[in-house]
């Protein structure tokens, strides 16, 4: 009887193999996101970009998600079509977008009539930046859709098990992609005569491998679904109560807890991911070092996050304290950006820079490790995919607009003092929302401070 009732995810090896397959898709995705971050100086020299151009390109990743509401549609697709269809779709969009971006910055494209036509209008933005931004928009649709799909997939495969640990390990693997690309991108560029094209082509090819990995996972998930149906835990056809309806979105928007989580998320991540785009150049300017050294220093940012996130996830599973971790993480991030703004320019030391970056990595462990496993506690499972996508959509508004703001401020002021102050202000607001979140959790009993593993 025990063997009959045993599901695929009850086998630790199989469920962790499933996690590795879907995490690899995000690993390669995160590599592509930041492949050009260490190359800001090169692309400005070789393609005539400016800081504002770079900011426009960086924000383009989120344009379709925000202004065309793609992420909201992605949530509906996820809840209607499931994690298999949505995951393959998102991985495919990443590959298509990456290919367009690769073409846009290639030497070959600069000689085409399409490039000349693109350069004939809105001349403030070079044709290469327009094409690269178009590709990054499409990639961004796939990448953000993939992030929400992965979260729902982990929630499904690790329900009642080590969910926070699994999400922590997935995030750690993804952040390893940031570490890897900060070393690999300038290394490849330098090997090929300071080419900005080759690193992008290399990471584009890796996205194809990510698509293959997720396709293998879909085969496993199909078997898992058949087992759930056989055991009566899932039906082939959803009942009316289980079926997702557009009107269910109202339940999400009417939740104060949802808005606190979403606003905390957008403020926190707006001080993290846009910072990553500019961090190598910030260190180049502040410390007077070259592109390769600066990107190597930035690579220390995800190291502690990568190491600590799984342990913090395990702590959440066993002991809880999610809301408290959100408060500590937001406060730590604020202090780090203030140090970048005020302390590092006064004492321009590589050791000090690494120390601040490493502590920022601790913050980047605390907040995501506590944030994403908290969502299933406050949102009905039927609309969980939509809830994740709506949070990502609100997050994407900040991630789209903040790089534009930072690029504009950087060009107007000629220095990084004000950008770092802006990032610090985001941290202060995130800390205040985290306090309110903990207060409401204490009052309503959502269980954010309680462990995930049920005894």
Residue owning tokens 């998320």? 265
- Asked whether the predicted pLDDT for residue 270 surpasses 90, the reply is yes
Contact between 22 and 145 under an 8 Å Cβ cutoff? The reply is: no
What integer pLDDT is reported at residue 208 of this predicted model?
Answer: 97
Q: pLDDT tens across 330-367, in order?
A: 999 999 999 999 999 999 999 999 999 989 988 988 88
pLDDT(103) > 90: yes
- Determine the Cα–Cα distance for residues 56 and 71; give it in Å rounded to an integer: 20
End-to-end CA distance of the chain: 22
Q: What is the pLDDT of residues 136-165, one digit of tens each?
A: 999 999 998 998 899 889 988 888 788 878
Which range is most confident: 42-56, 116-130, 135-149, 305-319?
A: 135-149
Q: Residue 247: CB partners within 8 Å, gap ≥ 6? A: none
* φ/ψ bin of 447: left (φ > 0), alpha (ψ from -120 to 50), beta (otherwise): left
Query: Could you tell me the domains of the chain?
Result: 16-232+239-444 (1.20.1250.20)
Total-model pTM: 0.75
How many C-beta atoms surround the C-beta of residue 211 within 10 A? 19
Q: What is the pLDDT of residues 187-220, one digit of tens each?
A: 999 888 888 999 999 999 999 999 999 999 999 9
Determine the average pLDDT of the residues in 28-33: 94
């Amino acid at each position: 009887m025990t063997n009959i009732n045993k599901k695929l995810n009850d086998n630790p090896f199989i469920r962790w193999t499933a996690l590795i397959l879907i995490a690899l898709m995000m690993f390669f995705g995160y590599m592509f996101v930041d492949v050009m971050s260490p190359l800001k100086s090169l692309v400005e020299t070789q393609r005539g970009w400016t800081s504002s151009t770079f900011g426009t390109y960086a924000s383009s990743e989120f344009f379709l998600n925000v202004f065309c509401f793609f992420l909201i549609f992605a949530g509906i697709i996820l809840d209607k079509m499931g994690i298999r269809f949505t995951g393959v779709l998102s991985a495919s969009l990443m590959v298509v977008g990456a290919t367009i971006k690769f073409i846009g910055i290639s030497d070959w494209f600069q000689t085409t009539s399409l490039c000349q036509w693109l350069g004939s209008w809105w001349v403030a933005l070079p044709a290469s930046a327009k094409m690269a931004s178009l590709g990054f928009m499409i990639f961004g649709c796939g990448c953000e859709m993939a992030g929400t799909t992965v979260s729902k997939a982990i929630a499904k495969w690790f329900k009642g098990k080590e969910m926070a640990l699994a999400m922590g390990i997935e995030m750690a693997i993804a952040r390893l992609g940031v570490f890897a690309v900060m070393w690999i991108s300038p290394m490849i560029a330098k090997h090929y005569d300071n080419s900005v094209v080759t690193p992008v082509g290399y990471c584009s090819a890796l996205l194809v491998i990510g698509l293959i990995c997720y396709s293998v996972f879909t085969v496993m998930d199909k078997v898992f679904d058949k087992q759930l149906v056989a055991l009566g835990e899932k039906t082939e056809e959803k009942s009316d109560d289980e079926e997702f309806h557009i009107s269910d979105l109202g339940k999400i928007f009417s939740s104060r807890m949802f808005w606190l989580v979403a606003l905390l998320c957008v403020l926190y991540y707006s001080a993290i991911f846009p910072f990553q785009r500019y961090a190598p150049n910030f260190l180049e300017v502040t410390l007077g070092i070259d592109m390769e050294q600066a990107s190597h220093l930035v690579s220390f940012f995800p190291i502690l996050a990568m190491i600590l996130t799984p342990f913090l996830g395990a702590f959440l599973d066993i002991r809880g304290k999610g809301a408290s971790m959100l408060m500590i993480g937001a406060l730590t991030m604020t202090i780090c950006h203030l140090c970048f703004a005020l302390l590092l320019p006064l004492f321009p030391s590589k050791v000090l820079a690494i120390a601040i970056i490493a502590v920022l990595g601790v913050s980047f462990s605390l907040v995501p490790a506590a944030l994403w496993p908290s969502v299933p506690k406050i949102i009905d499972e039927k609309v969980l995919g939509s809830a994740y996508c709506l949070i990502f959509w609100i997050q994407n508004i900040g991630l789209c607009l903040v790089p534009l703001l930072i690029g504009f401020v950087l060009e107007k002021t000629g220095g990084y003092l004000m950008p770092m102050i802006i990032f610090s202000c985001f941290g202060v607001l995130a800390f205040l929302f985290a306090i309110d979140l903990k207060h409401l959790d204490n009052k309503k009993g959502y269980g954010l401070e309680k462990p995930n593993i049920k005894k």
